A and B are shown apart, each in its own frame.
Chain A
Amino acid sequence: MTALAADGVSVTLDRAPVLHGVSAAVPGGGWLALLGPNGAGKSTLIRALAGLVRYTGTVTVDQADARALKARERARMLAYVPQEPVLPPDLTVAQYVLLGRTPHLSYLAVPGRHDRERALAAMERLDVAQFGERRLARLSGGERQRVVLARALAADPAVLLLDEPTSMLDVGHEQQVLELVDDLRRDAGLTVVSTLHDLTVAGQYADSLVLLDAGRVVAAGSPATVLTAPLIESVYAARVRVIAGDDGYPVIAPVRRPGDLPRDLPGNTP
């Protein structure tokens, strides 16, 4: 199992500083969720971990400096799924998943039997093998997300870097995808780093959270220490109540402005 850590990572995009000395770490087989309001730098941190933006500071993959890795070596270990993956509409699911084998192919190599086997295994694992010949344009939102995860998995990575893996999904499909990622983590020992916008969901699936605001770490630790009403209210400029759920996970419930009473409820009608 592969541990991943960022130490004092700073990123400047278009001359504007986006991350200021961010440190975060996840042990092998763990699930780290990055939280924070829009523009806090969550996606940029994920992209820095994937080696897709210039950064200062260090990223270590299993105690090795990520800068020392060649692009293909890094791509073999870290599979990155962007928030809005580009799905060429006419490519078939099987062709697309096979692209995930790219890190394993030398420059002039073509995918061989082993690559097709690994791609098929990934498709079967995510239950998309039965529509391998379907064009990507013909997939529903939930199917798309599973196909994209299958492509990531086809590389046999050690770490999944997922940028908002569920932002396009309804609550049911969101749960299915996250349970699937959690299964992969348990079965294959994958390490997961993801940004998640839903705080309750983040507390349910991740075992450690990092809360970012304006490019800095505001809080880090277990769900119980990060998901507190005062922290969330100050960082998100929101009004919330944190309730202990029956299953032990904190539930973050938005609260309306005082004075606005719910309408059409018994007792509230004038």
Chain B
Amino acid sequence: MDGGRVGELGGGGRVRKMGPLGAAAAFLVVAALIAAFVGAADLNPLATAAALIDKAVPFARLPSSLGPLDKAVLFQIRLPRVVLGALVGGLLALAGAGYQGVFRNPLVDSGMLGASAGAGLGATLAIVYLGGTGPETVPVAAFAGSLAGVAVAYGTGTAAARHTVLGNGVATLLLAGIAVGSFLIAVQTFVLQRSASDIGAVYSWLLGSLSAASWPQVTTILPYAAVSSVVILLHGRHLDVLAVGDEEARALGLRPDLVRGIVVAACALAAASAVAVSGIIGFVGIVIPHVARRLAGPSYPSVLPLSLLGGAAFLVLADTLARTVLSPAELPIGVVTALVGAPAFVWVLRGTSHVST
């Protein structure tokens, strides 16, 4: 048996796996550089690159022509926003890919199972009743609301699945998520209806924005982002096994319920951390995993890391557009992801004759 053929048998082949991953990583670096150069304060690309290398690489002392003001713009305003955008985009796409794997359904995204609705209700309550005071109130409320939404949906869905007539626990869970989401949105609408003066603030949060990005925000969500990403990435192989159905997965010695619980918890944590600092940004969690599949095939050990990198790069670029197109005004980033993402998605789906999970 020759080594070359055995090597080809990895999750779709090493070369085929590393090629798209390398391209996505390069794409992310380019997107981050563009985001760093472009903006209201025009920074010289070369000087910016020099300043970045000077800061990032120890012992490399590159003279940069950036003045102290430009450096402050770069390091205190633009860079935290780029890093936060990359984190949020990566987390949303990874959570979306994880949910799609766990539920064997290509139509779900990072906001499902009551995650977005719970975050929306949490943020609305914080804005309406706590006045959105302090930089922490709304993010903490959105984070807690998102996790609570998923917990309630997963709890009721799992309990209902024991007595289901659908014969399929996955469908019951998704339906429970839809029910919980609708309920939470109804509560949110009710609260908002009684407090019309806050509609503007709530609405602008719901559309998503990274304009408040700061290093403290980055360091706050970094631990959650790291833990949830590592857990999801470690379950790529298990998601491939789940693709053959719960019964065959059990026959292969895997415990589908356990895998589902772990991955859902990690995805919920990833999506909640993203939503807490950015508001609700749609489209990333459903589109990026599909693009990843088109590039690298359906095997999750490839789809998951590719979604993480691709989502990060996509959101950094979308945010750059959001803050430059109407400069000095900003577009809501959710509008940009959908405006740019939807046509791109249609183009990606073109020629896809089948629905992949």
Contacts and interface: CB of A to CB of B under 8 A. Distances in A.
Given A52-B250, A76-B253, A92-B297, A86 B12 contact: no
A102 interface: yes
Nearest to A50: B251
B297 A90 contact: yes
Interface string A48-73: 00111000000000000000001111
Interface residues of A, number: 45
A94 interface: yes
Contacts of B252: 75, 99-100, 102-103, 155
Interface in B205-242: 234, 237, 240-241
Contacts of B1: 117, 120-121
Interface stretch (B3-11, B18-26, B267-275, B309-317): B3-11
Interface stretch (A3-11, A33-41, A105-113, A246-254): A105-113
Interface string A79-93: 110100111111110
Contacts of A82: 247-248, 251
Nearest to A100: B252
B77 interface: no
A142 to B, nearest CB: 20
A132 interface: yes
B179 interface: no
B255 A120 contact: no
Residue among A90, A105, A121 with max Cβ neighbours from chain B (10 Å): A90
B253 A72 contact: yes
Interface in A4-37: none
A86 B248 contact: yes
Contacts of B329: none
B323 interface: no
A91 B299 contact: yes
B298 interface: yes
A241 interface: no
B244 A116 contact: no
B237 A110 contact: yes
A71 B255 contact: yes
Contacts of B356: 89-90
Contact of B253 (A47, A91, A102): A102
A243 B219 CA distance: 81
Q: How large is the interface on B (under 10, 10 to 19, 20 to 34, 35 or more residues)?
A: 20 to 34
Nearest to A117: B6
A193 B11 CA distance: 31
A74 interface: yes
Contacts of B301: 110
Contacts of A102: 237, 241, 252-254
Nearest to B6: A116
Task: Choose among A79, A92, A108, A132 the residue with the greatest number of B CB atoms under 10 Å from its CB.
Answer: A92
B354 interface: yes
A177 interface: no
A244 interface: no
A129 B234 CA distance: 28
B357 interface: yes
A84 B264 CA distance: 28
A137 interface: yes
A228 interface: no
Q: Which of A76, A88, A103 has the most CB of B within 10 A?
A: A88
Nearest to A113: B6
Contacts of B354: 89-90, 137
A102 B247 CA distance: 14
B243 interface: yes
Nearest to A80: B251
A51 B252 CA distance: 11
A88 B243 contact: yes
Contacts of A137: 354
A95 interface: yes
Given A71-B255, A95-B12, A88 B6 contact: no
B293 interface: yes
Contacts of A209: none
A98 interface: yes
A119 interface: yes
B255 A98 contact: no
B45 interface: no
A50 B252 CA distance: 10
Interface centre among B5, B9, B243, B293 (most CB of A within 10 A): B9
Interface string B7-49: 1111110000000000000000000000000000000000000
Contact of B9 (A51, A80, A91, A119): A119
Contacts of B247: 47, 52, 82
Residue of A85, A99, A105 most packed against chain B (CB within 10 A):
A99
B356 to A, nearest CB: 5
CB-CB nearest 3 A-B residue pairs:
A75-B253, A72-B253, A90-B298
23 contacts: A50-B251, A52-B247, A71-B254, A74-B253, A75-B251, A76-B253, A80-B251, A82-B251, A86-B243, A90-B298, A90-B354, A94-B12, A99-B244, A102-B253, A103-B253, A110-B301, A116-B10, A117-B1, A120-B5, A120-B6, A120-B9, A132-B9, A133-B8
Given A71-B254, A89-B354, 20 more contacts: A52-B247, A73-B253, A80-B248, A85-B248, A91-B243, A92-B297, A94-B8, A94-B9, A94-B12, A95-B11, A95-B299, A99-B252, A102-B253, A103-B252, A105-B237, A111-B11, A116-B6, A116-B10, A117-B1, A120-B5
